[in-house]
């Protein structure tokens, strides 16, 4: 079923007690228009006409706050104005959040927005923190390497990345495990009197690239390389509201996430199908 099919959406939502809106497109101009803009509109229109819907959950992301690209002098909470970094995907989330909020204000649709940090599962974190194999996320390590480092990577030599700012300070950023996102959604489905609210969802603490690279290097028996990112900005997500109101309790920190990623690789279990978008 297509989210662009308003009649089909209407019939499905009319029979639902809750809608969990996870559908999205990344940097696909036409897909964003059809899925994020038209699709969200169709879902909210149907929700506004429903006489049984109890909760409309929107999956948003910290991209609306411009994480990594924009300077974040204080921890990011729900009250900081949206200021997304450039791109169709962050723009789509700003539009989705705005639409959901206005359908709550104007028509009483019981919307709740979960603004999640970068979600990791399986061995995603290893694909991000090491140079060999599939690249996951930004920055792209080869773009920060010198010729010697590139030659080693091209020869298949793996290494964990200790990422620093130009002044030498370790870079720090926030992410979240998919299991903790599931926990947040389940709590948001059942917590009363939260309609119209937004909640930041992330790990308890941001991780330090230098500290984490040392841990990955030791666990995998690979070298650690130092790279400097001239663009990236530190950021910290404040999950106090989600903890206090939803009872959200993040269970996976960066070290447990790495351990589970290593366990996943060693298990030989097949990986999920990728979306085709790196980032």
- Predicted confidence (pLDDT) at residue 277 exceeds the cutoff of 50: no
DSSP secondary structure string, 107-126? H---EEEEEE-EEE-TTHHH
Q: Where exactly are the structural domains of the chain?
A: 6-119+174-201, 121-173+205-233+252-267
Phi, psi of 94 (to 5 degrees): -60, -45
**Biggest CA pair distance of the chain:** 64
Average confidence (pLDDT) over 197-213: 98
Nearest 5°: phi and psi at 138?
A: -115, 150
Tens of pLDDT, residues 147-190: 999 999 988 899 999 999 999 999 999 999 999 999 999 999 99
77-98: per-residue pLDDT in tens? 999 999 999 999 999 999 999 9
| pTM for this predicted structure | 0.95
Split at pLDDT 50, 70, 90, the class of 251 is very high
Mean pLDDT of the chain: 95
Distance of CA 192 to the CA centre of its chain: 25
CATH H-level superfamily of 6-119+174-201: NAD(P)-binding Rossmann-like Domain (3.40.50.720)
The pLDDT of residue 20 is above 60: yes
Higher pLDDT, 194 or 279: 194
Q: Residue 216: which residues within 8 A CB-CB, separation 6 or more?
A: 126, 129, 130, 160, 222, 224, 258
Which pLDDT tens digit goes with each residue over 129-142? Answer: 999 988 899 999 99
Specify the CATH number for 121-173+205-233+252-267; select among 3.30.420, 3.30.565, 3.90.25, 1.10.3470: 3.90.25
């Amino acid at each position: 079923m297509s989210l662009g099919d308003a009649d089909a959406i209407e019939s499905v939502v009319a029979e639902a007690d809750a809608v969990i809106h996870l559908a999205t497109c990344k940097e696909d101009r036409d897909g964003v228009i059809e899925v994020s803009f038209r699709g969200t509109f169709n879902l909210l229109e149907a929700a506004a006409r429903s006489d049984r819907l109890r909760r409309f959950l929107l999956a948003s992301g910290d991209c609306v706050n411009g994480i990594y690209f924009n300077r974040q002098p204080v921890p990011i909470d729900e009250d900081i104005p949206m200021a997304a970094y450039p791109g169709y995907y962050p723009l789509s989330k700003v539009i989705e959040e705005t639409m959901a909020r206005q359908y709550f204000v104007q028509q009483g649709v019981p919307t709740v927005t979960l603004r999640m940090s970068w979600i990791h599962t399986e061995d995603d974190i290893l694909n991000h923190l090491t140079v060999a194999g599939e690249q996951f996320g930004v920055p792209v390590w080869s773009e920060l390497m010198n010729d010697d480092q590139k030659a080693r990577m091209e020869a298949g030599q793996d290494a964990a990345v200790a990422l620093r700012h130009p002044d030498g300070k370790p870079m720090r950023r926030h992410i979240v495990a998919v299991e903790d996102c599931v926990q947040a959604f389940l709590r948001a489905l059942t917590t009363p009197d939260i309609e119209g609210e937004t909640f930041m969802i992330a790990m308890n603490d941001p991780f330090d690239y230098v500290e984490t690279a040392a841990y990955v290097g030791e666990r995998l028996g690979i070298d650690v390389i130092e790279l400097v990112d001239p663009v990236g900005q530190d950021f910290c997500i404040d999950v106090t509201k989600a903890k206090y109101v939803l009872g959200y309790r993040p269970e996976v920190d960066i070290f447990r996430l790495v351990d589970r990623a290593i366990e996943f690789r060693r298990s030989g279990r097949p990986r999920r199908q990728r979306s085709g978008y790196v980032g």
